[in-house]
Amino acid sequence: MAVVERGARRPAATRQLLADHVYDAVLDLLIDGEYQAGTTLGIDALAREFEVSQTPVREALARLEATGLVRRTALKGYRVAPVVTPGELERLMQARLVLECANAELAALAMDDEILQRLEDAVHDLAVAPLGPSFHEFRQYWAADERFHLVIAEATGNEFLQSAYAALGGTIQRFRLFGGRGVTDSDHCVAEHTKVLDALRTGDPVRARAGMAAHITEARDRALAAYDLTGSPVEPTGA
């Protein structure tokens, strides 16, 4: 298991930066499996570990709860959530198909040079980002992937669709399966994003919907292949 460099994660001095720092640090540890499923995430303990007050820790854990990586139980506090099961992943991807295909369709009708440039930048960043094996190393890849889908959600101009997309935590759940071995499907993912971008560039909502549907379906199939026949994530190879 990778050694966590605590000193490299020392926070800056504003409350928002402190919360961002704790969020980023705990996210790294969650994706890399440093915190096992069911582990208690005590606010006091994390505040001592990262040398901050309890307030930014609470803010960071609330944000992490929205991703599905952390769960909060009344009177018991926060715990690390289990890795999603194949069935949960299947249902998550069903939700993404419903929501993100609609997002792509609406976004295609609103394309302009500024939005297209942001999407092109995201695809470029995805293509050149490091691939792991630790989340700290492939975090830029995840960020570019997430940014691509977020720009499309924002392009709909519908704040309710944007909130629904943010609530899914869809991309980070899939990336949790890469912890300890790095990104394994970069070539496929870059090609699929490029096809979605090309469809959006035409302004054709039907093509945009179809391109997004193909991308999410193929991403789902690759993610499900990361489980063995017992329903557990496949152990990383060569780690």
Q: Which CATH class is domain 7-80?
A: mainly alpha
Predicted confidence (pLDDT) at residue 186 exceeds the cutoff of 70: yes
At the top level of CATH, the class of 86-224 is mainly alpha
Mean pLDDT across the stretch 156-179?
Answer: 83
- Does residue 235 have a pLDDT over 70? no
pLDDT of residue 170: 65
Give the bridge partners for 40, in sequence order.
79
Mean pLDDT, rounded, of the chain? 86
**Would you state the structure tokens that stand for residue 154, as one six-digit string?**
């924002």
pLDDT of residue 4: 39
- For the chain, percent of residues with pLDDT exceeding 90: 60
Question: For position 238, what pLDDT does the model report?
Answer: 29
- Give percent of the chain with pLDDT exceeding 70: 88
In the chain, which segments carry CATH 1.10.10.10? 7-80
pTM of the entire structure? 0.81
The segment(s) of the chain belonging to CATH 1.20.120.530 are: 86-224
